[in-house]
Amino acid sequence: MENIEAMRSIVENHQATEIDGVLVDMFTASAVTQIYDQVNDKNKAKMRNMDTMQLASIAYKILEKGK
């Protein structure tokens, strides 16, 4: 299953799940999916090719900029 779809499943089920050996909580999954939904198609393609840790790292960096 694609990482983004797995994260959507976490948000829908309100249940942390392991993706690629990394436990992803609902907060992280929600942040990643919200960012994914707002970026352009070129960046969506880049995000689909990232592993779980890269997606989480980028999500937290974007959240930190928003403060």
CB atoms near residue 30 (< 10 Å): 15
Phi, psi of 5 (to 5 degrees): -65, -35
pTM of the model: 0.90
CB atoms near residue 45 (< 10 Å): 10
What are the residues whose beta carbons fall under 8 Å from the beta carbon of 4, sequence distance 6 or more? 32, 33, 36, 47, 48, 55
What is the rounded average pLDDT of the residues 27-42?
97
pLDDT score at 66: 78
- The tens digit of pLDDT for each residue in 10-29 reads 999 999 999 999 999 999 99
Model confidence at 56: pLDDT above 60: yes
